[in-house]
Structure 1
Amino acid sequence: MIGHELGGRYEIITRIGGGGMALVYKAHDLLLNRKVAVKVLRQQFVHDEEFIRRFRREAQSAASLSHPNVVSIYDVGQEDEVHYIVMEYVEGSNLNEIIQERAPLQPDEAIHIAAQICDALVNAHQNQIIHRDIKPHNILIGNNGRVKVTDFGIARAVTASTITQTGSVVGSVHYFSPEHAKGTSTGEKSDLYSLGIVMYQMLTGKLPFQGESPISVALKHLQETFVEPRAINPLIPQSVENVILRAMRKNPSERYASASEMLKDLETSLQAQRLHEPKATFFSEAGDLDETRVMPAIRQSAPEVRPAAPEVPSSREKASSQQAASNTQTIEWEDEKQKGPKPWWKRPLPMIILTLVVIAGLYFAVKSVSNSLDVPEVPVPYVVNMEEAQAVQAIEEAGLMVEQPIIREFNEAAKGIVYEQSKANMKVKKGASIRLYVSEGTELSAMTDYSGRQLTAAMEELEALGVSKDRISSSDKVFSDEDPGTILSQTPAAGEPFDPKTAAVRFTISKGQETVVMPDLVGKKEAEAKVLLSQQGLKLSDDNIVREPSYEPEGTVLAQFPYEKGAQVGKGAEVSITVSSGLPSDAIQRKLPIVISPAQAGHSSEIRIVYSDATGENIEWGKRKIKDTQRFTIKVIVAPNKDAMVMVFRDGLLVDSFPVTYDSAEEPSEQTVPGKEEPPPVIDQPAQGEVQPTDPNTAGTDPNTVPEDGNEGNQPDGQQ
């Protein structure tokens, strides 16, 4: 039943109680998001119309009441063969548990509880409802101290014609009223008697009547007096004892006239002026005809012998005379003259013999029947916690029978163990039947699928089912795309049966996404950027590469999105980059030829060329060692809003600079950087990126020849 969703609305959490007729579960109302108590009729009674009627009557009786001291009824229904009542869930204990733990209670606490019970009875009686089963087990006390009366399973309406049952009595024998035990009509005062016993038990820790069997207890309610409360607990005020004595009078007329009257007496019983009031005394105005008493024996008058009458009476006179003899217990003698020979059956001796024979026959017949009915009593063996086979053997060895079928239900006891029996700790007639309740083991619940849910919510739900916190493990934590604390997997798996009392539950929990540091991609080549992203576990698809014109060299990363360098990024995240596709369409490449001589002819000078153009400032073109005059071609990029400037350094000193403008329609004219003496003949140097034809006979012999890649890799691609 646990884990079942009853009526598509009430999710059963755990079993919290039960009685002979029904089991009570704690449940969660999924529609209104609140805790409720669900009472479910036991399976063995689902085909018993009487129990079903009684079960429904409980819902109707309680639902007709609206009072803070009566458990509220929310819903009633049936699902297949499951009959259930949904009622208010009271967080706390029942009064029987409190009595077992710490009775006797203090008088003020007992009066506080009794007054609330009595207030509930006032409301019930005003609505013509008699509870008929007031006992500590049916009194719930919340953690806030509020008392709630529950279990109207055998309640009756005052006006109902079926207020008693012929041949049987339903209720709890230790709390019966005398009239209830006799099976006669039970009214409001019967509930007050039961409340008096509850008060007696709260204040003394004992029941007023105990016995070896329910019948013996019921007879004590009818015939015997109980030990007065103050004889057991002298701390009980006399005023409080008086309330109990009056409520527990065997004669209903001597009890309180109504629950309202008893409530008023309870509310004032602890007032200072009443604590030491005189003990209550009671005098019945009319005795109970059913009461056991000593009476004188009824005797007949001695027969009067008269002489025979001289006259013969007529037939009418004879009948009159016989009637008179019957009324006065005397014997009339007839005249000897009227007596003729009597038939044998009228003669004394044969009649006496016949009478003796009949009496003897009846005696032996009665004795024979009595012997057959006089079955010896035997004690019922206590077989709870035994295995089924051992229990059956013990019962049969005691001369008793096991009632069939044996009731098998899920229980906390191990499978095959007897967890309950009927007629325990008492004597019964030999051959009587004993009912056994055998455990089918703990009812296994289907494991819920907690994947995708937060750990805290799952733990709360499991603890409500009875799984202790120390059996819930969540140490396995891994990186994932789920939020931190989200359950990724579980053991037992979803749908597997598990026992909340013993099962260990293990969860694998998400730590969230694994993060990495975003690398700086700007200025890197496209291929290099891809390698850096792959090393960090980040993704770059072709669709996320944007290409646009730029003055940066083609293939250079211009921007990265959406993460800046140094940011913490979830591993596996998508990244976009912008890559240069080459120069804009309005950019122009210019070639500036420069003839440069060494400072002194025949001596080596170091030439260094630096330029600024649309692609950047102070770009190093390169350095050269020259001993004679040489021509160099410098390529620059100019734009509508950016001219170029070429600067020549010789032996570390700036010797000249040459502008290159965008507006010029022609290539720039050749510029000259002379030395301090007349320069030797000029040796042309190939423009950067161009190949100069060489004489095979002289190739490689001039140490001052500038190599084809004379920019030493400093000139950007496409700008030579």
Structure 2
Amino acid sequence: MLAALGFAHRHGIVHRDIKPHNVVVDADGRLKVTDFGIARSGASQMTEVGSIIGTAQYLSPEQARGSPVDQRSDVYSVGIVLYEMLTGTVPFTGDTPLEIAMKHLSEVPVPPSELRDDVPADLDLVVLRALAKDPEDRYQTAEEMNADLARIQRGLGVSSETTDAATAVLAGAGISGAPTIIAPRPTQVAPSQPPPPTTPAGYYGYEGPPRRSRSIWPWVLVLLLLIGAGFAAWFAYGKIRDELNANKPVAVPYVVGLKKAQAVKKITDKDLKVKTVPGFSEVYPAGTVMSQSIDGGEKTDKGNTVRLTVSNGRPKTTIPDVVGKAQSDAVAALTAAHLKVSVFHVYSSASPDTVTGQNPPGDSRVFWNTKVRINVSQGVKQIEIPNVVGQPYASARSALLGAGLNATETLVDSNQPADTVVSQSPGAGTRVGSGTTVTLSVSRGSTATTPVPDVTNQDEPTAKAILTGSGFKVKTMKQPVTDPGEQGIVVSQQPGGGTSAPAGSTVTIFVGDYTGTTTAVP
């Protein structure tokens, strides 16, 4: 609850209606402060003088008076809630809201430990300080109260300022702004004056000589002297009081989490000096105080300096270039740069345990704790060579490429059908690195030869029919001729007619191509 209010106060919002009904716990067990319906931005006054806003049992004295309120009013209400949590009852009750409000202004609360024996004395002190009538005697921020509760939880006890403030509350001190109640004057009946004595008729008495009236000036002089002495005493008392106050230690405000300007003002208002130094923080936004040299609540002499570390936001770092380094060296370098590391092992031609890549790349500027991925070589991937003997070369090559290998062809004489793989190297079942080349020996076909027919001086269609009929393939090439009679006629062939060649091999024929001009004979 104090953490939530501290957040609201740092953003200038005062709740003004803190009570158990406005504090809820969600399904995950997290506490939330709700109903900011009468909250105001910063210090504000009630809309009507004398009106009571909020629930009477949880009002602060300044709310009851209709005075301006700030975050310390919420601290008072939290003190009421804590009192009720410890004892089961609120400290001030009455038949009407006005009666309860008057008790907030004038009555000293009964310490919780007097109602419950199991309440520790330190919690008494926290509650009583929070319920101080004068806001200056309370916790100045929700964080300051939270810090005291954290000290109690750690067994360290409360701050000395809390002890002094709680003691003052029990002694009836710290009650400022309470209404002055004027007792009604009793009715006084003036005694009846006896009538003046009557002078008997006919009597002429001697009244004597007239009296001289006494002078009042001596009394005026005495009164003036007394007034002058009073003024002198008052002036001397003021001088002594000022000197005593000037030498009296002051409590350092708790300013962690506040904006720099707010923190500086709170400290200088206590007649203390401020020195600010920059720092980086993963928690506190830029421009807010992340630590103070003297803890909030501790007392120090006026004029002393409080050093505030002001956040510059999240720190940045430069990513080192670790490509080519060993994994252990790379991780150490990245960790030293306040970075997180994610390692991925990959197959690579680089030496095992060597960093082959990183993301983000080296020399990038990033925030602390950014995750950097590094790829670490685990060597070349080992692949078992499949058996492709007996397959056509195209199928064998496709199988090897699919396995992450390469293939090369060597033609050999074999009685196997042409284009058939007759052997492979390395052999099937051998484990090799990814990308290794496998040499395939491929049959040229049967070694038996067939006589090549002589098709010279035949026209092109006839020559093709003769050769294909003998089991050969035919390739046609044009050859320029000067004799128009050789147009479309085979003028030569390769291999030549009468020679022998393997069955199924190719015979190239050269067909005449006449491009000259023919002259007609008359």
Task: Please give the range of the TM-score, normalised by the shorter of the 2 chains.
Answer: 0.3 to 0.5
TM-score where L is the length of structure 2: 0.32
